[in-house]
Structure formats: structure tokens, C-alpha cells
A and B are shown apart, each in its own frame.
Chain A
Amino acid sequence: MTARCVRSVSGSLQLLLRNRWPKVYGAATCSQKHTYTPPPAQYGGRHTVTLIPGDGIGPELANHVRELFRFCCVPVDFEVVNVDSTMASEDDINNAIMAIRRNGVALKGNLETNHNLPPSYKSRNNLLRTTLDLYANVMHCQSLPGVRTRHRNIDIMIIRENTEGEYSSLEHENVPGVVECLKIITRTKSLRIADYAFRTAREKGRTRVTAVHKANIMKLGDGLFLECCKEVASGYPEITFDSMIVDNTTMQLVSRPQQFDVMVMPNLYGNVVSNVCAGLVGGPGLVPGANYGEDYAVFETGTRNTGKSIANTNTANPTAMLLASCLLLDHLKLHAYANMIRRAILSTVTETRLHTADLGGQGSTSEVVQSIMKAVESTGPRTLSL
């Protein structure tokens, strides 16, 4: 019985099945678990992917992705689900979640959360991540040639726990004027994310994993996280494991970021570190992000910005979203298309003339996309006419 089968049966039966075949994580069992994943389903030779445009610059970037895919004849159809983040009811996001369950894969723009609304209005993005149990957020920050930054030769992979930690949204006010917010760290999820990190490091041939924590202050919580990482590390002897406190990590990142290889951390530190790294390699317009779960995968920009202030001005940088769509194609095992589009994107980014405002240039989004399409056309495979 696969996890997906278990998920589709009714609640009480689920409980029964889960108790009979409990998921056990640990150094010994983890490396043996994920040996086989079935290929993604194709109907009529084409994949269906859920597309959530989101707010701000989301819709225009989603259109560019569709335009590019149509141009390159990529066998992917998008099922568009619009989520209205201003509505109080959660129907929209539940429809989106259902669509993702149906298709297994999604490409998503960021949904804005108005933080002046009462706590009953939960963050839609967070809801999506926790409901689908997308436990690993992976962001690969690499220095790109042609983008001028203060630091060179950065190549950091950030793996962030995506579902628990500080983002549990459990808050209460027992006494007026005193608010408590709970941060939850569990052994299961920490082992799971640590195992994901080490497995990924092994697959990609990385040699060092650094756990980021604050266990000197939060001795039990982050202490548990660190302990789980150490336990998993013992099962991967070829990979060096070390740990660093989060404030020291940020200091090291701005002075010598080249020392980091793979970093694994709980939710909030992941937020800080991934944004710092994205800033170091050139900004939010360049880095794609991926959220992986047991059965689902959702791709988005790495730093999850809505870009409200530049919406509909044709100045947004489409690189992050387009690279995210390449990650999507890789996930669907359409590697040829993924590599073709990625090569075209990277060759466009090196051209300074076409840099958008966030990179210090004056190019427009449509110019960048046109240039990418031209680059794809020139590499040879059959495409639609420009």
C-alpha cells in the first residue's frame, strides 16, 4: 500500500492502515526506503500540471511560462486554478489543493497574506504546504556568470523544513497583553528532512552538509533537530557533517559564502538563510525554489515574493519563474526540454543589455522572454514560429 493509496481512503481506515504499517525513519531504514519512484503519469503523451498564478507579478509570469512552453512544444498542459487571496473563505485554496492532488505537480505564484487581518485568516501558502505535506523546500543558489555581485563562486543548496517549526501558527493570548506562540519540533519531521538533505547531497555528489540551529538557547527544540541530523549523518559516512549557530551563519554568509555546500535547517532559519543567499547571488528574480513532499511537488520562485509594487509594469525578472518551470520539467523526467530551456535562460542572463531593473538594467520582461525563445529556436529542435 503506497502512501498515496492510504491517503485516498477514508479517515478511519487511514488510521488503521497507518498504524499497521507505520512510517519509521532513522539512520538504518532511511537509505533503503526511496529506491523506486514510478514515472509520472502521462495521458495521451502529455502531462497535466496545476498552475496557480497568485498575486502581484504571478499572473504575468505564469503567462510567460505558458507562452514559452507552447513555443517549445513541451508536452505539458496547465490546469489553471485561480486563488483569490482576499476572500475569507478557504474554498479557493482547497480547490487548488484538490487539483494538485489530482495532478501531482504544480507551478505556483505567491499568494499575498494581509497581515492586518485577524489570525483566523491563515496564510494560503502555508496552508497549501502543510496540507500537502511538502516537507522539503529546496533552493539552489548559484552565482550566475554575467550577474555582477559582491561575492563570486557561490554554490549553496539550502534545504529547509517546510511544515513545522515556527510556522505552526499556534498562538494564543491567555492574559491580555501577553501572547504566546508555539514552535513545534518533532523527531519524525526532523529525521525526515535530515534524511532528505543527506540523500540529495549524495545524489548530487556534494561533500558537506551543515545544520543551522540555535541549540545554545533553544536547547530542547533545536537540540532535538541537531540530534536527528547527527543520527542521520552516521548513515552517510562519505558526507561531512557539521553544525553552525544561525547568527554566526549569517555573519559567515556575508563575509565568506564560498565555505558552504549543503545547508539543512528548520523553518524560520531557512527563511532567513535562503533570503540572504538569494540576495548574495543577485536577488529574488534569479533563484527558483521547489517544495517536495512524499507524493507532490510544487515549484515557485525561491524567495516567494509577490512583487506587488512592480505588478503589470513589465519590469519583473522572469528568470526565477522560468528556472522553476525547468525544475518542474526535470521532476516530470522531461530532461531534454528542461536542459534546452535552461541553457537558453542562462545564455540570456549573461547578456547585460537585457538585464531587468532588479539586476540594474533597463530591460523588460517581454524582451527577456523573446530573447530566450530566440535562443531556443537557434539551438535547433522543432519549435513553433516566433
Chain B
Amino acid sequence: MGSYESELNLKATELRLGLPGSDEPEKRSCSVRSNKRSSRESSVEESRCKSNVNSDDSTTTSDHDQESVQPAKVQVVGWPPIRSYRKNSLQQKKVEGDGSGIYVKVSMAGAPYLRKIDLKVYKSYPELLMALQTLFKCTFGEYSEREGYNGSEYAPTYEDKDGDWMLVGDVPWNMFVSSCKRLRIIKGSEAKGLGCL
């Protein structure tokens, strides 16, 4: 389709987003940084540069002039104009594509303390569930799409980006990791309400 063609030409007609004289925007030198903290930010930015150049259909919605063709999505220094201080504060909560871990709080009904775990450490649901069961000395039992964790003493739930409480295991692992904000282990009896469709 035309989209692939125009992608090939992007390099030639590319709108330069870097400082004059810089050849590869991905390797933008970070020598003009003023904020000590930004050393972590710069590595995040560089990894962003290397990651997805937007290639879905939305980039070529129109056949109009080059003004409406999106240039390659490269992270530009100091753009958008948000103070490093603010960016850093938000990044502590955001899920990063790579780099730092994804720490979420885990609470359990009746337990006096919350725990924190790094979701990045686990590669799949079984690993995560095993870790949770060990951490809180509880059991979840078998997960089934239909019955959830029916029959077990406890069940793992999580709060997603929309603020809804979901049963752990329903969505694909990667989707879970990127949308999970917090975990909560509830009593099996409460879990009945979260049983799947």
C-alpha cells in the first residue's frame, strides 16, 4: 500500500527535528543538559528514539502535501516544554517500555502492611501468582476463564488504568503489566463477584 512507499521516502523528505549539524536524531548528544537528574531521563529518551516509529495507518490519513505527513517520531530535546522536575515526578508512576522496573503496591485484606513488587521480574502469570502466594502465605487455586479462582481461599485482583478492579489473569500478560496500577488480594468469597462472563 501507499503507506509503505511513503515510509521508504520519509528519510529523504524528513523534516529535521534535530539541532543543525546533527545527523542522527537518535544519537542526540546530551551535552547541553542542565539538570543533574536528566541523566536517567536521557537514557529513557534515547531508548524511546530507538523504539517504535509510528507506522500504523493513521500516519497516512491524507494524500495531502507533506505538511500533513508525520515525520519520524523522534524525541526532541526539551519538547514538549515540560520542566524536567515535572517529567521526573510523573515518570516515577508511568510504565516505561524498557529501563526501570514497574513497582506496584500489593495489599491484602487483613494484613497490616502493604508490599511492593516489581512486575518486570516476572514473565508470566504463573510466576507472579507463585510469588504472591509466597509473599502473603496464601493460596489461589486454579484459574479458569469461566470460574476465576473459584474454590480457593484467596484471589488476586488488580486496579487498572481506568480505576476498575479486575481479576488477575483475564487479559494477556503484557496488557496486564502495562495497565496494572495496584494489586489486592481479596478473600475468595468476595471474588465471586468478579467471576468472569
Tell whether A and B belong to one assembly. no
Chain B residues with CB under 8 Å of chain A are none
